[in-house]
Structure formats: C-alpha cells, structure tokens
Amino acid sequence: MRFSLQRKQLCIPYFIFLILFVVIPILFILFYAFTDSNGNFSFDSLVGFFTSTNKINVLIQSLLFSVINTIVCLLIGYPISYILASSKAKFNYVVVMLFVMPMWINFVLRTGATRDVLTWIGLSGGQHPYIATFIGLFYNYLPFVILPLYSTMLKLDKAQTEAASDLGCNRFQVFTKSIFPQTIPGVVSAAQMVFMPTMSSYVIPETLSEGKIILFGNSIYLGFSNNQWNSASFMAIIMLAIVCISMLVTRNYTEKDQEGGSSRW
C-alpha cells in the first residue's frame, strides 16, 4: 500500500503540468472564442469565420497542403524506410540518423537556410511561392515519416512474408497482403506527425513564400499578433477540432486493422 501511494504521488507533477499548460490555456481559448471584445457571450467569431470567404479559402488551402505533403512524404519515405529496414548493412542506423540530424538544428535557422538555398538555385519564394513552400514543408517533415516507419518495419514478421511467397504470392501480393498490413500502425503514426504540423505551420510558408502564402497557422498567428483575440481563438478551436477528429479516425482505423490482422490470411 505504501508503494502504491508513492507511485500515485509521482503523477502529481504531471497533473500540475497538464492543468497549467493544457487545461487552463484551452479554457482561455474557449472563453475568447465565444465572447466579444467586452467579454460578453457571443457567437460573432463563429459567424465571422464561416461567413468569411478569405478564412474558408485559407482553411481549404491548408488542408490541401497538408494532404499533398502527407501523401508525398509517405510515397517517398515508405520505400526509403523499407530499404533501410530490409538491408543487412551495418550503417543503416547511421543513414537514418542523417535524416534525423537536421531536426536538431533550430527550426527558424533551418528554414532560413532552406530559403537561401532555394534562392540560389532559382526557386525563390517571390517567384515560385508554392514550389518553395512545398519543398520546405517536405524537407522538414520527411524525417517524421521515415523514423516511425523504419521502427515499425524493423519488427516485420519475416516468417509471414516468407510464407506468402511459399504459398505462391508474387511480389506485389506479398506487399499488399503481408508487408503493408503489418506497417499500417507506422503509416498512421507518420501521417499524424505530418498532417497536423503542416496545417498549423506558419514559419515555413511565411519565410519561404515571402508572405505570399498563408496557411491556417499563419492566420491564427496574425490574429493574435493584431490583438484579434476572439477570432484567432475561434480559429484555434477549429484547429483543435480537426486534431481531435483526425486522432479519432486514425485510432478507430488502427483498432480495426489490429482486430482483423489475424484474419487476413
């Protein structure tokens, strides 16, 4: 009983942190989202958001950027992760670390360096804002796809794959019926780690597009910077709702996949 009490006490710092830096900020955001400038209850921010063509267009553009970046990162990161996980070379871990090491550099400095490189090769944000922004998003979030996929593929059941080949499956069937189903948890995790950060990003589009492309994160940042606390807080609520929906969808999908994983064969 004494040991159990001590274990519970270890949770106290976590709950204090949770209340101070998660619960209280969300309550403040909810308060500002559904009040006016005088602190009175109001739906003005909600009506203003859904009646603003500009804000809706920014939301749609952010969703498109997020979907495209997630798909491209998965299409390129998946084969890279599979090759690294399947190869027996001793330096595979070193190659993975080469993808991760740039993430140790300050985010703003890394984005500024990317802008300089793109300008040097003729893809400056002033002339090619969409290309420059997309390259920056892809470069910054590709490691978040490779790492979880690589970790998942290291745990692949090789016996299942060999059994598929022995039973007459060709390479494509082995991939679709054995390899890919086993890596779905890694794919879901990687997609989560790319989709929402892309949508909420504001440093990358602001720096690389030279202010010509505004994503949802930029809108929220500009709202708070211009003391538009009510509208910016409601946009933050929209962002939080999208995060919760994406987590629920991916959780349900992962649970269904795990339940049906044993029955695929």
pLDDT in tens, 31-88: 999 998 888 999 999 999 999 999 999 999 999 999 999 999 999 999 999 888 887 7
SS (H, E, C) the chain: CHHHHHHHHCCHHHHHHHHHHHHHHHHHHHHHHCECCCCCECCHHHHHHHCCHHHHHHHHHHHHHHHHHHHHHHHHHHHHHHHHHHCCCCCHHHHHHHHHHHHHCCHHHHHHHHHHHHHHCCCCCCCCHHHHHHHHHHHHHCHHHHHHHHHHHCCCCHHHHHHHHHCCCCHHHHHHHHHHHHHHHHHHHHHHHHHHHHHHCCHHHHHHCCCCCCCHHHHHHHHHHCCCHHHHHHHHHHHHHHHHHHHHHHHHHHHHHHHHHHHCC
What is the rounded distance in angstroms from the CA atom of residue 156 to the CA atom of residue 82?
Answer: 10
Contacts of 91 (CB under 8 A, 6+ apart): none
The pTM assigned to this predicted structure is: 0.84
Determine which of 117-121, 245-249, 261-265 has the lowest per-residue pLDDT on average: 261-265
Q: Residues 83-106: what's their mean pLDDT?
A: 77
CB 198 within 8 A of CB 66: yes
Neighbours of 143 (CB within 10 A): 21
Checking if the pLDDT of 91 tops 80, the result is no
**Per residue in 104-118, pLDDT tens?**
888 888 888 899 999
pLDDT at 175: 85
14 pLDDT band, cuts 50/70/90, is confident
Q: What's the pLDDT score for residue 243?
A: 86
The chain-wide mean pLDDT, for the chain, equals 85
pLDDT tens digits along 176-201: 888 888 888 889 989 988 998 998 88
For position 86, what pLDDT does the model report?
Answer: 81
CA distance 82 to 76: 11
- Per-residue pLDDT at 253: 56
